[in-house]
Structures are given as structure tokens and as C-alpha cells.
Amino acid sequence: MSDGIKLDTRLYNFTTRCVRCAECTFGYKDAEFELFCPIYKKFNFFTYSLGGMAQLARALHEGRIDLTESVSEILYKCTSCGACAEVCAEVDFRDMMELQHELRARCVEAGQVPFTHMAVIESLKKDDNVMQKPKAERGKWAEGLGVKDITKEKAEVYYHAGCKYCFDEELWPAARSAVNLLRRAGIDLGIAGKDETCCGGHAFELGYQGEFIKYAENNMEMLKTAGIKTLVTSCADGYYAFKVLYDMLGKKGDLEVLHITEYLARLIKEGRLKPTKSVAMTATYHDPCHLGRKVEPWIRQEGKLKAGEIYQPPRDLLNSIPGLKFIEMRRIKENAWCCGAGGGVIDAYSDFALWTAGERIEEAKSIGAEAIVTACPWCKRNLNDAVKESNGGLKIYDIVELVEQAL
Amino acid sequence: MSDVDLLYNELLSAFPEERVSRDQAILTSYATDLSSPPGVATLPALVVLPKTTDEVKSLLVAANRFKVPVVPMSRGSNIAGLAVPHKGEVVVDLRLMNKIIEINTDAAYAVVEPGVTHHQLSLAASKKGFINHLPTATGGGSSVANYLMRPSGNLSAKWDPDPVLALEVVTPGGDIIRTGSASFGTAGWRARYGPFPDLTGLFACSYGTLGIVTKMSVKLHDRGEEERLLITKFDSFPPALEYMKLIVRRNLADSVTFWNWVWNLFHELMVSKSQKLPEEMMKEDQRTPPPGMPFGIASARLSGYKEVVDAQEKTCIRLARELGGEHMPQEEIKATHPGTWAYLNSFFVEGIHLKPGEESTMRAALWLPGWLINAEPSGILKLEEEMWDFARREAKPPYMFRVLPFNHAREFFFAFVILITGSLDEEKDYMLHLRSAYATLYHELLAKHGAVMFRFRRDPTFLALTGPYGELLRKIKNLVDPNNIMHPGVNLF
Amino acid sequence: MVNIIVCIKQVFDPEAPASAYKIDAEAKRVILKGIPPVLSPFDENALEAALRIKDAHDSKVTVLSVGRNLSKAVLMKSLAVGADELLLLEDGAFEEMDSYATAFTLASAIGKLGGYDLILTGREAADTNAGTVGSGIAEILGIPSITIVRKVELDDGKVIAERVVSDGYEVIETPLPSLITVSNELGELRYATVKELVASRNKPIMTWNAQELGVEPPQVRQARLLSLFIPQKENRCEIVGGETAEEMGANLALKLRAAQIL
Ligand SMILES: Cc1cc2nc3c(=O)[nH]c(=O)nc-3n(C[C@H](O)[C@H](O)[C@H](O)COP(=O)(O)OP(=O)(O)OC[C@H]3O[C@@H](n4cnc5c(N)ncnc54)[C@H](O)[C@@H]3O)c2cc1C
């Protein structure tokens, strides 16, 4: 049993201003109005769209429905990719994200969350990671790299690997490549090894805002103690957390947050890294939501948060690799089709996550790509699993690996 | 077991489970639209997502057998409560019937299913050099449902405003009827009329009370080698109306619409990135525009061969001047009203809805459709006066109006829209007050100015005003739908 | 077969960071944004104690929880780790009960269930830290109880428990049925695998409201909440002076004695 939900006036207004225009299920004209909301494309009922969820939220506020298990399931099946809010004329992106954050936080408070998420959070609390792996194994990915440990030595730039890279052994090479490349360019780099902790972003997106605050406070404390001014990460979720969520919380201060693609593109432009070797393939690029939509709109809010989307740097990187033919899919940048892993869907509804990735793979195949390159460990993991499921035919790369190959 | 349970069980044998729902959480989203006051909603009994005409047929036959009423819904964007349940009906959500079956470039028409959106259709038509009738509505709305209700917006002057040709309709009895040329299996979908009385027209403006339309052929129009937007400004409404009248009578433009200054400021919101309505829109005296702003502008779409368009444009500008109006060259309007320009140009020239999102549009307020009404030009002039009176009496600013002429100047559409800036929680009474004020107003305006509601407003007393016409319709309704399962809550009959 | 009942309270995660807490002083309510309800930690220890007994003896473990807005998803964790059934006492009337009303309600439910051998509770709840409900249940049921226990064993109709005291522990024996309140020294609750979580969805969950339980919680509150606030903590730092290390040490000792710490 659970009570309804009272929203604040601003969010309630948003729910009543939905005109049911259904734009939230389409991409723009540039993407030929292809459907671009995964949950809607998969489950089809109006309910599974921003408009439908707005009506649902409205009903929760007006006390016409309780926060039942079915309601929670609908809310948690959303990959939280933000595509809908990009096109909605009635609501600002921030309001839509805030509504989602709010509803999920309420689900958490009511204990109305997928049990798989509870398991993720329980292990996060115990082991400081969202991969349900023992804390002690966190530093393993960097063994033998001989990179500085910022908890012991001073370094100028901190590399945050993130839970996914730390505990998913198949993804280690990309994190190791990142460290190698930055050091090769002469960057004074440090990591936190086994003392690194989760950024908390995943907890936030699952609605566990309290848990998130804990990690934000811990991380900023650690960075402050180590005197770090610049943070670079290969993890798209981490980038979003440090850059947007920490700022929303008022904790980011003047920490410079960079995604590895931004940093590498900058280093190549400055001539500090020179890709010369040919990497022959026809590849397309998949925009992670956490490097695009989910950070992009904040920049519009004058005087407010300034984030900024990362659309161009990865494309610049791909174009700088000799021999690589870079081609675009139809649904790109703010129109991108989500990989399916986001918003905790990969934990709770893995079949749906794979289906969504499968759709992306089909799109890549349809334009003749041999590989999908991405810049987010969650996207890579999910796309890779979907490729395996469909018996291959296409390769999935982390962009950093390709840059290293080209050097 | 209740009738709904019986129906549900039967549907489970005809539909895969993931396309029939009675989950309260799913149903809740179908209960409300923009017109629902807070806290007021009726849940549907079920929602079903058919994919084919045969599925629609089996659904209607079963619903008819168990006498469970249904509400057809194509995309549900009508904003006036026409596709939400009113007494626990089954919502037949047609969004998965979304195929464009044919674009016929020879005879210039398209055959589409009801789930096809304006976006889909205009893009497909555009790729072949055609434009469909695109209302100034949402691109996410269904072309079929919109055309069935008569679209207001684009292409309503030079071209016949009724884009509907032939239909495929499933009746509650389970018959699959095709109208127009399609009634003869071999004649194709090209024509509205055959040698018999027109049944397409019976289903138009029936709001789902007679059957479910599962296919429609619609007119397409040649885009022409040149497409242009012409803006002229006027300091009051009467000359603007005269200008529009002449334009349509003399076939000078594909369409023309007049927007008062409040509308234009509203359009401006699209590029202003503002979440607040501009100060000026809130002023009490909405009859007088703020300094430096014209009372309103007329936007006309011109298309065809370049020489012809040039000449048409010149003529329109001359007409405007003779009536005391003035041409607003592109550079001028782009500079003074960039948002208005972007909006109108995308609609009337590109024939595509403006990409929203990046530009905020209507976030600042809840917009409550006011009266949508049509009349002769002389009646329309009086409607403007009525509107100012009504607004002074009943409404808080901002309110805005727009007018566009249909069919060769015998029928003009007048839309009066009120924006509600507060929260629906706080403005509930105001909203309900306006609603009841509108209800009496429609009767008054019909009596005084011969003005007819453009779309049905769920007021059952109107059909009675038509006397024997209404009686005949009732007989037809009884014949087609003896159990009255087709959208009874819409209150047409 | 040993019939064990474990009483578990659902509380808001006590490990949530302080900055996530807000107080609505007027409504005397704690506002916790995005903080999940969890099983109260000492109650988890109690459940672990029950499961250890179950590991050794043929037993049935019933978990009992009372409140309003109980989360099945959260309480189902007890089923996933090995409890056999869950009984939720859920009713508007069960909201914000004081210790006495809670003990009364739980005792009524236990009485109605009947046939119990051992009742386990945590030593105190993580939100109120009152530590009286366990003993209260025993009192109402008229059975012996042992509080703050770090080890429980069953032996031939008796229970042998190690009770924590400040300088060690006492070993106490009582006949069954009896009630034991468990402390954290007993050890953490075991983990549930995702598979166990999935399987737990098929275990029985019963819900009784006040009417089904057949009792109304006592109307007269034994405790009333007067005000709710976050205590202001003040840290003062004083440097104790002195010429030499010895002198500094002596001065420090004097200060500590003055503050009645030494
Ligand atoms: C912001 C906004 C602005 C708008 N501006 C305009 C405008 O300027 N001009 C304009 O013309 N419209 C406008 N509209 C209205 C709207 O876009 C159209 O009416 C819409 O295209 C209708 O399609 P729909 O799928 O949403 O219909 P629905 O809402 O699904 O249905 C409308 C009615 O038709 C019935 N119906 C639907 N499908 C079928 C079917 N297949 N068979 C039988 N009956 C059916 C329903 O029962 C209902 O009574 C606007 C809407 C919005 C949200």
C-alpha cells in the first residue's frame, strides 16, 4: 500500500500542460521523424511516452491512483534517455528530468522499486560500486600501469575510471588506453585505484538521492584533499554525474570536468597526440545519452548550470584516425536512439535493454557500418551483448581503443 | 463475470497480451487530456491496440455482443475531451495502424491508416514533391482523425479544404465498408464520389460514433517550383478580413490566416527561450497593441511557377496597400518577429511542423481552446466584437484570436484561445467558469450571427436544432449502431 | 519443528547522509528525499539469529511487521534470505504508533498466530532507538525475555543466550516460549542472491488490517511527540598550553577532570 504523490506546483503544472500532441515519441525532421523513445517503441501504449507519464503523474498528484507496483514498473522501464523532452514543446527539459527524478525518489521512499535495484544499492552501500563486486577488486584494472595514486601523491589531473570500467574486465583495455594516451601526451595524471568510489550517479538515476549525496560528498572531499582541479573520465555516466548532478547539488565548485573524448580531441588539436597508423574500417558513432541530451540542455539556462553536450569531439577523433571511414546513422546527437542500458534498465529489465540495443545495431547495419564506436562503458557493454545475442556481424569499440591503435 | 470481463477474456484470444491492457496504471494515462479539470477523470475499462482492420473488426463485433461501449482514438491529440472515456469505455488506440499504404503521384493522393501522423504523411508526400493538407496543429496528430474532423490551417483557400477522398470503415456490426471510388474493388482510392450518395461525408464529423475508420485516401497537392510566405500587417481586423476574402475569391494564395498581435508574441516565445509570457501579453486592454507593433498580421502561402508566384505576391501586396495594410518584407519580420517568422515559415512553406524543444513554445501557460467557430465574413466581423465583449466580461488576459478562410470565402474560421498562466489547481474554477460560458455562447452566437461551432463540443442540444436532419441522422445511427456502443460519451446523439 | 517469529520494523535508511535530512518542524515530520525504507539493522540481526537456528533445527520462520505504507518489496528481502512467510499488519491506524501501541499490536498478532516457540526482535529500532518494544511484547504475552543478545542456541526446549554487558557477556537460559532481543554483535544478515530474490516472490505474504487482526491499537498514547529538530552541534577547539610536554599533559588532565570526563 502506498499513498499518492504530491508534486510541487511547477511539476504539477507541467503534467497538466501536456496537450497529448505525441511529439514526444518522434525524432525531429532531420531524423525523418523516426520513433526515438525506446520504451514507447517497445511497449506501444500511450502510457509509455512522456505524455502518458505526464498524465500518470498528474493522476498520482490528484490522488486518482496510488504508487502501485505497476506504476513503479512503468516509471522504471524508462531508460531515462531524455529523447522525449528534447522535442516536447510544452515542457522544459529540466522539468521533465526533474519530474522523473522526483517520481523515482518517491518510489524509493515508498520502497516501490525493482528488487534488482535494491540489490544494486545494497552492494553499493557495502562495496562502493554498482557492479555488485567486492570493493577490494576495484584497483585491479590499473595493475602494472605504474600511474600515480592521488591519495598518496600529488597529480595535476585525476582520472576517474568509474565502476563499470573498474569491474568489467572486458572493458579494462579502454580505461588502460585512456591512461596511456594521457600520459603519452605528457599529462601529470593520477588515479585513486582501489580507493576510488562510485560517483553516485547511478544511485541518483535510480531514485536513491540520499545515497547519491553521500558519494558526491565523499568524492569532492577526496578531490579537495588531493588538491585536484581537473577531473577526466571515460565513463559517460560519471561525466554526467560530476558535471551536472554534482552541480545541481551545489557540490561541484570549480572542478573542471572533462570527458576523455573532449580531452583527447583537444590533445590531438594541440599536436600533443598524432594518430598516424591506419585503422581501416567503416564505422559509425553512437551518442551516449549522458554525453548528449542529458548534459546539453543545462547550457540554456542563463546563469544556471553550464554543462555542454559532447557531440563534436568524438566525431573529431574518428575523423582524425587514418583509414577509418566515419559514417553517420539517422538518429544522432540530440536525436540519438538510446542504447537501452540507461536509467537502471540494464539492471532491472535486461531483455528490454538488449532489444533497444538490437534496434541500434540494425540501424548501424542499415547504413553499411562494420562497427559501432561509442564513448560510454554502459553503451559498449549493452551493445556488445546485443551483438553476441544476434550472432555478431558487427563490432563494438570504445573510441579510446581506436585512438590508441592509430598512434 | 461482468461484461467487461467477458470482453476482456474474448479479446485475449484474438489479441496478444501485450496489446490489451486492463492495468490501472496503463489505463490512467488514457483518462485525461488538456480539457480535463483537476481530479475529474474516468478510467477506460480496457485499452486495446489493434494492428489490422480485421482486428478492429473482431474487437467491435465482440464489444457489440457484450454491449461494452468503445472510444476510437487515433493519436488522442484533439485537446477537447473527444478521445477520452466518459463512462468506462474501451479505448481503441489505433496508433499501431500506422502504414502509409500508397502515395499515388499520378492522381495525387495518398492512402493512409489512422495511426499515420501528419509528420509521417507530410514527409512522405514531400519526398515526392507533394504537400498534404497540414493543419496548424501538432505533427504528432493523426491525419485521418484530423481530416475526419475537418482540419483548420494550411491549404484552405486555393485548394478545397476537405482533403478526404475515400474511406474504409468498420461498423459495430462488423461490416467493412469502403466509400467513394474504393467501394468498387477495382476502381482504386482516387475519388470521393461515385454514382451514389456520398457516404464518406456521413463518417466525417461523426467523432467515432458510427464506426472506426481504418483507411483513408487523402488529396495531395503539387508543391510547385516556388513556395513562399507573404506577410502583410494591418492595424485593425476589418481590412484584414477584406484582404483575406479577396485573396481566396480570386485564388491568389494556397491559404491565408490572420493572427492578432498576442498570437504573434506567443509565436515569439518559441525563440525567446523564456518560460514566462511577455509582459505585454498580460495587459488588460488587448485590443490595442503595444507601441510599434501592428494589430495583427496576415500570413499567406503562395506556390506554383515562379513567374506566377511573383505576380501573385505583387498583387497581394497591392491589395493590402489599397486596404490600408502594408507588406512586411522577409528581412523586416525576421528582425522584428523572428519566432513568428520561424513558426509560420515552417508551417506554410516547408509544410513541416517547427522543431520544438530547442525553442520553448507554450510552456509558459496552459492553453485552453476557446471558441472555434465559423461564419460568413459579415458574421466574422461581428464575432470579433463579441470576442472583445466576452473577454472583458469573463476572461483574464492573455487571449488571442486567429481567423482563416475556408472554401472560397463563404466560410471563415474564427479561433479564440485563452491562456491560463496559473496552476490548474488554483485555476480550476476559472477553467470551469469559462467552459460553461462557452457553452451558452455557442447558442447565442448561432442565433445572433449564424456562427456554427467548428468542432462538436459535446453538447447534445445542438443536433436537435437541426430538426429533421438530426432525426434522419438518429435513424441512421440506430441502424448502424443499434446498441449505441460507438463513443456514446461524446454526446453527439 | 521450531516456530520462530521475527518482528521487523521498516525504517528509513539510517545510513543516509545527514545532509539528505530535512525537518518539517510544523508538521513534526522528517522529510527524506530519495531515502529508501530498509529493515531496521538490529532487526536484521534478529532475522539472522532466526536463520542460524533454522540452519541447525527444523524450523519455520515467520516475519512480522506493523505499520502504514509498508513496502512489500523491502520486506520481501526477509523471504529472500530464508524466512518462510511474511505477515504484514497494515492499516491507517498503525501509523506512528508509540512503543506501547506497537508492542500491543504485535503481541495481538502473535497471539492470534499462536503456536510460537521463540520470538526475536532487534535490541532497538534504528529510528527511535527506544528499545522497549521487544520487552513489551514479552510482558504482554507473559513470557520470559532476554535482551541485547549476541548468540542464541536452542537445546531441548530451552534457549541459551549470551547477553551483552559492558565488560563481557552473561549466559542465560530460559524455557520456551520466550522472547529475545538481538544485538549487532550477533552478526550481519546474510546476503540474498538475485536468484533468491526472484524465488522469494513466490513465498506467501499475508496482510492483516486492524479489523482482520481484531484489535484496535490503544487510543491513549503513552508517548507524545512534542517537537522535532536537528540538534545544533557546536565544535569548540581549545589549545591546552604548557611549557613542557609534561606540563601540557597535566593541564589537559586538569581540564578533563573539570569537565568531569576523568
Ligand atoms: C497544440 C495543438 C494545436 C492544435 N491546433 C489545431 C489546428 O490548428 N487545427 C486543427 O485542425 N486541429 C488542431 N489541433 C487538434 C488536433 O491536432 C487534431 O484534431 C488531430 O490531428 C486529430 O487527430 P488525433 O489522432 O489526435 O484524433 P483523436 O484525438 O484520436 O480523435 C479525435 C476524434 O475522432 C475520433 N476518431 C479518431 N480516430 C478515429 C477513427 N479512426 N475512426 C473514427 N473516429 C475516430 C475520436 O473518437 C475523437 O472523437 C491541435 C492540437 C494540438 C495538441
User: What is the pLDDT, as a whole number, of residue A323?
Assistant: 97
User: What is the pLDDT, as a whole number, of residue C217?
Assistant: 73
B74 pLDDT more than 60: yes
pLDDT tens-digit series, residues B127-141: 999 999 888 888 889
Chain C nearest-CA residue for A204 = C34
* Residue type at A134 in one-letter notation: P
Residues across chain B? 493
* Residue type at C113 in one-letter notation: L
C-alpha grid cell, residue B448: 445572433
User: What is the pLDDT, as a whole number, of residue B271?
Assistant: 62
A382 interfaces chain B, CB cutoff of 8 Å: no
**Superfamily holding B226-453:** FAD-linked oxidases, C-terminal domain (3.40.462.10)
Which of the listed CATH numbers 3.40.50, 1.10.3470, 1.10.8, 3.10.350 matches domain A116-268? Answer: 3.40.50
pLDDT tens-digit series, residues C41-67: 999 999 999 999 999 999 999 999 999
Burial of C184 (0-12, 13-18, 19+ CB in 10 A): middle
Other Cβ atoms closer than 10 A to B381 = 16
Other Cβ atoms closer than 10 A to C241 = 9
CA B76–ligand 1 middle distance (angstroms):
6
Residue B341 DSSP SS3: helix
Q: What share of chain B is helix, strand, coil (3-state, %, to 5)?
A: 40, 20, 40
What value does the mean pLDDT take over residues A227-255?
94
User: What is the pLDDT, as a whole number, of residue C220?
Assistant: 66
- Within 8 A by CB and 6+ apart from B342, the residues are B267, B270, B271, B354, B359
- Pinpoint the residues of chain A covered by CATH 3.40.50.1860: 273-405
Compute the distance between CA of residue A112 and CA of residue C37 in angstroms, rounded to an integer. Answer: 10
Provide the pLDDT confidence category of residue B275 given band limits of 50, 70 and 90.
low
Which of the listed CATH numbers 2.60.40.720, 3.30.70.141, 3.30.565.10, 3.30.465.10 matches domain B100-222? Answer: 3.30.465.10
B351 pLDDT more than 90: no
A2 pLDDT more than 90: no
User: Considering only CA atoms, which of A86, A95, A87, A89 is closest in space to residue A10?
Assistant: A95
User: What is the pLDDT, as a whole number, of residue B363?
Assistant: 56
- Within 8 A by CB and 6+ apart from B128, the residues are B103, B105
Q: Cβ contact (<8 Å) for A85 and B357?
A: yes
- Within 8 A by CB and 6+ apart from A200, the residues are A211, A212, A213, A214, A215, A216, A219, A241, A245
CA B141–ligand 1 middle distance (angstroms):
6
User: What is the pLDDT, as a whole number, of residue B359?
Assistant: 41
User: What is the pLDDT, as a whole number, of residue B357?
Assistant: 42
B111 pLDDT more than 70: yes
Q: How many CB pairs under 8 A join A and C?
A: 88
Compute the distance between CA of residue A204 and CA of residue A245 in angstroms, rounded to an integer. Answer: 8
Q: Are B423 and A12 in contact (CB under 8 A)?
A: yes
Cβ(B340) to ligand 1 under 6 A?
Answer: no
pLDDT tens-digit series, residues A132-168: 999 999 999 999 999 999 999 999 999 999 999 999 9
Ligand 1 atom nearest residue B136's Cα: 8
Mean pLDDT score across all residues of chain B: 91
Q: Are C171 and C162 in contact (CB under 8 A)?
A: yes
ipTM, two decimals? 0.93
* Range ranked top by mean pLDDT from B270-279, C35-44, C214-223: C35-44
Mean pLDDT score across all residues of chain A: 92
B3-93 topology per CATH: 3.30.43
Mapping DSSP onto H, E and C, the string for B144-208 reads HHHHHCCCCECCCCCCCCCCEEEEEEECCCCCEEECHHHHCCCCCCCCCCCCCCCCHHHHCCCCC
Q: Cβ contact (<8 Å) for C76 and A115?
A: yes
C-alpha grid cell, residue B254: 494556397
Cβ(B146) to ligand 1 under 6 A?
Answer: yes
User: What is the pLDDT, as a whole number, of residue B252?
Assistant: 93
C118 pLDDT more than 90: yes
Q: What share of chain A is helix, strand, coil (3-state, %, to 5)?
A: 55, 10, 35
Q: Cβ contact (<8 Å) for A109 and C192?
A: no
Largest CA distance in chain A: 63
What value does the mean pLDDT take over residues B27-31?
97
Compute the distance between CA of residue B372 and CA of residue B390 in angstroms, rounded to an integer. Answer: 14
- Pinpoint the residues of chain B covered by CATH 3.30.465.10: 100-222
C-alpha grid cell, residue C16: 543516509
What value does the mean pLDDT take over residues A378-405?
93
C197 interfaces chain A, CB cutoff of 8 Å: yes
CA B146–ligand 1 middle distance (angstroms):
5
CA angle B251, B257, B260 (to 5 degrees): 150
User: What is the pLDDT, as a whole number, of residue A235?
Assistant: 97
DSSP assigned state of B347: I
Question: What does B398-453 look like in DSSP terms, one character per residue?
Answer: PEEEEEEE-GGGS-EEEEEEEEE-S-HHHHHHHHHHHHHHHHHHHHHHHHHH--EE
A1 pLDDT more than 60: no
B-chain residues within 8 Å CB-CB of A58?
A: 32
B347 pLDDT more than 90: no
A273-405 topology per CATH: Rossmann fold (3.40.50)
A93 pLDDT more than 80: no
Provide the pLDDT confidence category of residue B358 given band limits of 50, 70 and 90.
very low
Burial of C167 (0-12, 13-18, 19+ CB in 10 A): exposed
pLDDT tens-digit series, residues B43-69: 999 999 999 999 999 999 999 999 999
B and C in touch (3+ CB pairs within 8 angstroms): no
What value does the mean pLDDT take over residues B267-285?
76
- Helices B377-394 and B237-249 cross at an angle (nearest 10°) of 150
Mean pLDDT score across all residues of chain C: 92
Chains with ≥3 Cβ pairs under 8 A against B?
Answer: A
User: What is the pLDDT, as a whole number, of residue A305?
Assistant: 55
Q: What CATH class does A9-113 carry?
A: mainly alpha
Query: Across the interface, which of A46, A64, A68 has its CB nearest the CB of B76?
Result: A46
- Pinpoint the residues of chain B covered by CATH 3.30.43.10: 3-93
Task: Give the torsion through C-alpha atoms of B284, B286, B288, B293, to 10 deg.
Answer: 120
- Identify the weakest region by mean pLDDT among A313-327, B220-234, B392-406: B392-406
User: Considering only CA atoms, which of A89, A73, A21, A31 is closest in space to residue A52?
Assistant: A21
Which DSSP helix (H) or strand (E) runs through C155?
Answer: strand C145-155
Instruction: Say which CATH architecture domain C2-220 belongs to.
Output: 3-Layer(aba) Sandwich (3.40)
Q: Cβ contact (<8 Å) for B95 and A46?
A: yes
DSSP assigned state of A78: S
The CA distance from C71 to the nearest CA of chain A, in Å, is 5
Cβ(B165) to ligand 1 under 6 A?
Answer: no
Q: Are A349 and A305 in contact (CB under 8 A)?
A: no
DSSP assigned state of C175: E
A297 pLDDT more than 70: no
A3 pLDDT more than 70: no
DSSP assigned state of B65: H
Compute the distance between CA of residue A335 and CA of residue B448 in angstroms, rounded to an integer. Answer: 51
Cβ(B138) to ligand 1 under 6 A?
Answer: yes
% of chain B surpassing 70 pLDDT: 96
User: What is the pLDDT, as a whole number, of residue B364?
Assistant: 61
DSSP assigned state of A191: E
